[in-house]
Amino acid sequence: MFTDDYGCFRRWRLDGHWSQVMNALHEEARQNAGRNKEPSVAVIDSRSIKNAGKGGGVVMT
């Protein structure tokens, strides 16, 4: 099907290899910075909660 670099990337993205590579790189970068490889906290602000599930842009009035 695809024989170029994009074709390789596309196959990796579709079969999940690309996500695995990116996760491994994020973990390594965090460890190199002296942090745990897994984030320990997530921050959600009130705007994120209000807009969740609406999809698309939000008009602020």
Q: Where are the domains of the chain?
A: 5-50
The residue behind tokens 């609406």 is 54
- pLDDT of 55 reads 57
Q: pLDDT tens digit string along 1-60? A: 556 889 889 999 999 999 999 999 999 999 999 998 887 887 877 776 666 665 555 555
52/44 Cα distance (integer angstroms): 11
Whole-model pTM above 0.85? no
